[in-house]
């Protein structure tokens, strides 16, 4: 799921931990769009993955 500032979280976190509100900007989320196949050759997705291991941990 993605917000207007392009913060991304998995759907499970958005639904169960975040209540549909981005913790970074306060915005709502929408499903991440799919990049059209014809655009992938010149605009490939990033090869760098950013992972937050604390994503599913309930705040204390």
- Tokens describing residue 13: 């976190």
Predicted confidence at residue 58, as pLDDT, reads 52
On the question of pLDDT at 52 being above 80, the answer is no
Residue 43 contacts residue 35 (beta carbons within 8 Å): yes
Q: Is 3 exposed, middle or buried (0-12, 13-18, 19+ CB in 10 A)?
A: buried
More confident residue, 26 or 60: 26
Alpha carbon 52 to its chain centroid, in Å, reads 11
| pTM (two decimals) | 0.58
Q: How do the domains of the chain map onto residue ranges? A: 1-32
d(CA 34, CA 43) in angstroms, rounded, equals 13
Q: Quick check: 28 pLDDT over 90? A: yes
Sign of the alpha-carbon dihedral angle for 26, 11, 33, 30 = negative
The mean pLDDT value for 21-30 works out to 91
Average pLDDT of span 11-35: 90
């Amino acid at each position: 799921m993605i917000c207007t500032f392009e913060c991304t979280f998995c759907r499970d976190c958005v639904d169960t931990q975040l209540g549909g509100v981005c913790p970074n900007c306060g915005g709502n989320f929408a499903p991440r769009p799919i990049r059209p196949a014809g655009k992938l050759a010149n605009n490939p997705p990033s090869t760098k993955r950013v992972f937050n291991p604390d994503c599913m941990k309930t705040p204390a």
